[in-house]
Amino acid sequence: MFGTQLLYENTIQLFRVKPSLSTSIGTLTLERPTILASGILGISLDVFERLYRAGAGAVVTKSLSKEPWDGYANPTIFSVKGGGWLNAVGLSNPGAPNFAKTISSNKDVPIIVSLVGSVEDDFDFMVKQFENCKVSAYELNLSCPHVAKVGLEVGDDVDLVKKIIKKVKNTNFSPRPKVDSVILRITQNNTVSEELIETINKIFSYRRKTIQNIGKNFDITIKSDKRLEDMENNEIIKLAEKIKRI
């Protein structure tokens, strides 16, 4: 009888536990795992609040530039047979300074501000426009293929991407995270085989070692004192291809 009573009490306690759908992306914690992607709905705080109340864990703004952009002339959106829409608006937006005023009164919605630019100083300028806004994270748009000299073209320049990331420091976040955190939106242009990915993963198990010492683990001679974390992406891929051929 005592065992049955104890089981009953434990069962009641179990069902009192509040379910959680919370998830984390880097230092960003969300109550719900769904995020509105950057696009045509990311235009106003009123829309963000409605989407958040409807169940979105966070919302991503339209990609914002340093100055207002008109984008492409209409038509820029059309429906697809069978359901759905396609759009190519050309990154039209009111500019980061103007949009910061639009969301300045935000109190509750986790907003991820999407930024697009050509050089690292563009991103530094734009982030500073949101210093007095409640912003949860920044998305760096390095994948848009529609507009020249931004988006995809910037994302293909590894050195420039590194410079941009350094500009978006943790001091620009509110609340300030314990570590630097940034979301990159990129497009994979080159296909990497599963076998090569496996080799790259093996290489990364030897982090903090020089390339010369990593080579010894694979019975190859590499005369280099460079460390893995100091290498460019294309250098790591070339190293993996060399190891894979053994």
Torsion of CA 86, 46, 136, 142, to 10 degrees: 20
| Per-residue confidence (pLDDT) for residue 221, from 0 to 100 | 76
Contacts 24+ apart (CB under 8 A), 190-195: 192/237, 195/244
DSSP classification of residue 82? T
How far is the CA of 189 from the CAs of 135, 140, 153, in angstroms? Answer: 31, 17, 11
Q: Half-sphere exposure of residue 59, counting CA atoms within 13 Å on the CB side?
A: 26
Q: What is the pTM of this model?
A: 0.64
Which positions are catalytic?
A: 144
Phi and psi at residue 107, in whole multiples of 5°? -125, -30
pLDDT tens per residue across all 246 residues of the chain? 555 555 555 555 555 656 788 888 877 888 998 998 888 788 899 999 999 999 999 999 999 999 998 888 888 888 888 888 787 787 889 999 999 999 999 999 999 999 888 788 888 888 889 888 988 888 888 776 555 556 556 666 667 777 777 777 665 555 564 444 556 665 655 555 677 667 777 766 665 667 777 777 777 777 777 776 677 767 777 777 777 665
Q: What is the pLDDT of residue 236?
A: 75
How far is it, in rounded angstroms, from Cα 153 to Cα 67?
Answer: 19
